[in-house]
Amino acid sequence: MEAITHQLALRLREGNFGRKKLPRYFQGGNLVRIKLPNTTASFSAAATTTPKLAQPIHASAGGDTTPVSSDPDTLTEMASHDPAIKDTRIAQISSAIRVIPDFPKPGIMFQDITTLLLDPKAFKDTIDLFVERYQDKKINVVAGIEARGFIFGPPIALAIGAKFVPMRKPKKLPGEVISEEYSLEYGTDVIEMHVGAVQDGERVLIIDDLIATGGTLGAAIRLIERVGGTVVECACVIELPELKGRARLGDKPLFVLVSST
């Protein structure tokens, strides 16, 4: 699916930087609030001169292949940190993703990947980067999280010769299901999959479009492990690292293409 500087610039342009109401992210129907840092920042021309336009996410700068993690017990690797991956592909993917301010409610920054889908090359590059990473990892199952995990999961599964398993919200699957509950900011939610979709000992890749607080991915990991599957890795197109979602994944590695900066 916003850079902190974009949020700060938005509030400066609107003249409401001092509002007590905290900005919120929108992910999978859930609202996630974060605090703005108490600091001043410089803004790019694009961020300060186009108040009515949604701004693209920017890819992380290239670097080495050292995993990035705020928790020693977790592992995150970003494609944009891997010199083996051409910067042009990551940059195009990043520029194809836009952030919609105040959608679907005021104060929410919505990560919009529909513009990525409108760019055939950027969309293909996104799928290709995942396929290149997992084609030799003996993945049996690609599990996609509702709903945007259903966009990226099936083409990856077909390309690497794996089956695709949808992980859905309650009462969406017609057969017998196994469920896992997880916590939200206020209350709880549930994720489900069909009984028998994942077999004991199968190697599973879990995919979604974005990781924010990590609650849904954490629930998906627990659900896979309850039926005897082995979670090889979690993969997302976008990470919002300031929300520290990877800390909820335990020791499972996370691979992302674009990280907000």
Name the active-site residue from 14, 19, 185, 226. 185
Catalytic annotation, pick one of 133, 148, 168, 246: 148
User: Tokens in use for 177?
Assistant: 């299901």
Distance of CA 98 to the CA centre of its chain: 14
Structure tokens at 34: 């974060």
Q: How far apart, in Å, are the Cα atoms of 98 and each of 71, 91, 125, 210?
A: 29, 13, 17, 13
DSSP one-letter code for 15:
T
CA 1 → CA 60, 205, 224, distances in Å?
A: 15, 19, 24
| Closest to 207 (Cα-Cα) out of 248, 164, 236 | 236
* Residue 246 annotated to the active site: no
* CA gap 131, 129 in Å, rounded: 6
Q: Are 260 and 240 in contact (CB under 8 A)?
A: yes
With a CB cutoff of 8 Å and minimum separation 6, the contacts of 180 are 190, 191, 192, 219, 220, 222, 223, 226
Question: DSSP secondary structure string, 161-174?
Answer: T-EEEEEB-TT--S
How far, in Å, CA of 195 to CA of 174, rounded? 11
**89 is a catalytic site residue:** no
Instruction: Check: CB of residue 27 under 8 Å from CB of residue 237.
Output: no
Catalytic residues, which ones?
148, 185
